Homo-oligomer: A and B are copies of this chain.
């Protein structure tokens, strides 16, 4: 398997962009931009999010067993970049972004168009990222999108011609 070909084949998978957030009972609040996300079941509604094993957000999700995926809107590219760096919590903001606690305690970003909040039901640890399987326990949508909901979402490719996370 040739490394460049592996990179190209895996970079053919398209992705949306999300700010993953969590809050554990030690008072840690974490937020990080992620894109390795998919729905995984209708009934019960499950989603998968893959998270870098040595990251702070990983440690917080592991302790809290809960997370929120804040779906980034088409015009929120700068927010994606903000949370490529570890989130800096201060009161009810993280890296300057206002949040409110969701039903699991996970931070729900006020500025994003939608969120999906989950309780972790299983974790697969086989690689440099863990696969968190979450059951959806709450959602929010600020405004019904005019067209397809996925057209309203910020995609990885919207960040620019050379921005990838995958390969």
**Chain A residues close to B by CB (< 8 Å):** 1-2, 5-6, 8-16, 36-48, 50, 71, 113-116, 121-122, 124, 126-129, 131, 133, 135-141, 144-145, 147-153, 155-157, 161, 166-167
Contacts and interface: CB of A to CB of B under 8 A. Distances in A.
A38 B37 contact: yes
A124 B40 CA distance: 10
A149 B13 CA distance: 8
21 contacts: A1-B139, A5-B139, A5-B140, A9-B114, A10-B45, A10-B136, A10-B139, A12-B71, A12-B150, A12-B153, A15-B150, A36-B38, A39-B167, A40-B50, A41-B129, A46-B127, A46-B129, A48-B50, A121-B126, A124-B133, A148-B161
Nearest to A162: B148
A37 B13 contact: yes
Contacts of A121: 126
Contacts of A13: 16, 37-39, 47, 71, 150, 153
B9 A116 contact: yes
Contacts of A44: 126-127
Contacts of A150: 11-15, 156-157
Contact of A1 (B8, B136, B147): B136
Contacts of A10: 39, 45, 47, 116, 136, 139
The 8 nearest A-B residue pairs measured at CB: A41-B127, A9-B139, A11-B149, A14-B150, A12-B149, A40-B50, A14-B16, A38-B38
